[in-house]
Amino acid sequence: MEFDIDRARKETPGATKVAHLNNAGAALMPAKVRDAQIRHLRLEAEIGGYEAADRMRDAIEKVYVSVGDLIGAGDDEIAIVENATVGWDMAFYSIPFKAGDRILTSEAEYAANYVAFLQVAKRTGAVIETIPSAETGETSVEALKRMLDDRVKLVAITHVPTNGGLTNPAAEIGAALKDHPALYLLDACQSVGQMPIDVGAIGCDMLSATGRKYLRGPRGIGFLYVRHDLIKTLEPPMIDHYAANWTQPDAYTLRPDARRFENWENNYAARLGLGIAVDYAREWGLEAIQTRVRQLAGYLRDELRAIPTIAVMDIGREQSGIVTFTKADEAGLAVKARMRAQGINISVSHPGSTLLDATRRNLPPLIRASVHYYNIEEEISRLIRLLRV
């Protein structure tokens, strides 16, 4: 299917103002997402915050259905939280680790997750082990299979790492874990919104994602999926009177659904914006989005490779819309500043955000240009022209 780029850009207020190649940071919101939030903020100012939430109750509830539909989950399996990290942490810290339990993770695991592994390892005596990567760069499923034993309690993988262009083989990993009792936690922060995601097909038990990146939703909002049967076995690391009912002076009962991982006070404008963003992405179709993102990222990588001072640092059998590179004669931050002055948004990804991968590959700060379906070849060509200088 041909993408109606003109429509996509017309519905994106920022598209005429900037060449936004920082979609892995935060994508440009469609007007609909912006408007839904502003409408709700106005309503809160005009009739009161609690009263506005009451009035919008159905739409607020529907956000769970939209998010569930996006990833093939039930609405009761979704918790809407502040960001991907809170979602991931609520899942991870719910797991009762003990000394000797093994946590298997990928070489490109994100810093926020890895420091949590380290903290839990320090507290409990659980051990963290990295699954080696295949020669092509993605997590090796064969290596994972060889590492499995009955001490493996968790396999935690980043689907699309924050840099390095990679898409990890999430469903192949799920298939390898099918008959193993280990829990499978997928960080889908950078993949949700740029490709179809189906938790059943992937076979993960828990999945976290954020609103502002490829979903084109608001900042400060994200979600966690937890498989239905698992929810009741997990005690969240912290709870309030929304996550649990205070039933007796000395007792509480946790909610039966994934909202046990939430708390009471929320940004309803952001929630509504998230719901609209999800519906909007589904209107375009996640397969069509993926095709377009791949095509633009492929074009960008090809053009970059033709510049002698540039080295594309992307790995993996399957690659994402996140393109990373270095420039021999110019530091990443200088390139970013020079592009910003020319109305092009890119970012710099520091080694500390994926320290294992950065150490293994001896990576300096990487220049990151991340494309979305509403970008056009002309924006990429402008970037390339300026990089040639």
Ligand X SMILES: Cc1ncc(COP(=O)(O)O)c(C=O)c1O
Find the binder of ligand X among 77, 101, 187, 205 (CB under 6 A). Answer: 187
Q: Which residue has the tokens 């999430």?
A: 170
Nearer to ligand X, 140 or 190 (CB): 190
| Shortest distance (Å) from residue 52 CB to ligand X | 25
Total Cβ atoms within 10 A of residue 4 = 12
Binding segment toward ligand X, per CB under 6 A, in 7-15, 154-162, 259-267, 371-379: 154-162
Asked if 190 touches ligand X (CB under 6 A), the answer is: yes
The answer for residues whose C-beta is within 8 angstroms of residue 39's C-beta and 6 or more apart is none
Find the binder of ligand X among 56, 63, 177, 189 (CB under 6 A). Answer: 189
Buried b (16+ CB within 10 A) or exposed e, 119-145: ebbeeeebbbebbbbbeebbbbbeebe
Find the binder of ligand X among 158, 167, 290, 375 (CB under 6 A). Answer: 158
Nearer to ligand X, 92 or 97 (CB): 92
Total Cβ atoms within 10 A of residue 18 = 15
| Shortest distance (Å) from residue 54 CB to ligand X | 28
Whole-number Å distance between alpha carbons of 257 and 227:
10
What single-letter DSSP state applies at residue 276?
H
Asked if 110 touches ligand X (CB under 6 A), the answer is: yes
Do the Cβ atoms of 141 and 81 come closer than 8 Å?
A: no
Residues 196-225, one symbol each (x = binds ligand X by CB under 6 A, - = not), give: --------------x-----------x---
Residues 71-90, one symbol each (x = binds ligand X by CB under 6 A, - = not), give: ------------xxx-----
Q: What is the DSSP string of 29-62?
A: PPHHHHHHHHHHHHHHHHH-HHHHHHHTHHHHHH
Binding segment toward ligand X, per CB under 6 A, in 140-148, 158-166, 230-238, 306-314: 158-166
As given in the structure block, the two tokens for residue 386 are: 């300026």
Asked if 161 touches ligand X (CB under 6 A), the answer is: yes
Nearer to ligand X, 64 or 110 (CB): 110
Positions 221 through 280 that interact with ligand X (CB under 6 A): 222
Nearer to ligand X, 67 or 189 (CB): 189
Binding segment toward ligand X, per CB under 6 A, in 4-12, 57-65, 121-129, 185-193: 185-193
Length of the chain: 389
Asked if 370 touches ligand X (CB under 6 A), the answer is: no
| Shortest distance (Å) from residue 43 CB to ligand X | 26
| Shortest distance (Å) from residue 333 CB to ligand X | 18
| Shortest distance (Å) from residue 219 CB to ligand X | 8
103: β partners? 128, 154
| Shortest distance (Å) from residue 322 CB to ligand X | 9
Where do runs of H (alpha helix) occur along 285-372? 286-305, 332-341, 355-360
Sheet strands side by side (includes 366-370): 310-312, 322-327, 366-370, 347-349
Asked if 195 touches ligand X (CB under 6 A), the answer is: no
Asked if 168 touches ligand X (CB under 6 A), the answer is: no
Do the Cβ atoms of 119 and 72 come closer than 8 Å?
A: no
- Angle, vertex CA 231, rays to CA 190 and CA 226, nearest 5: 15
Q: Which residues bind ligand X (CB under 6 A)?
A: 83-85, 110, 112, 158, 161-162, 187, 189-190, 210, 222
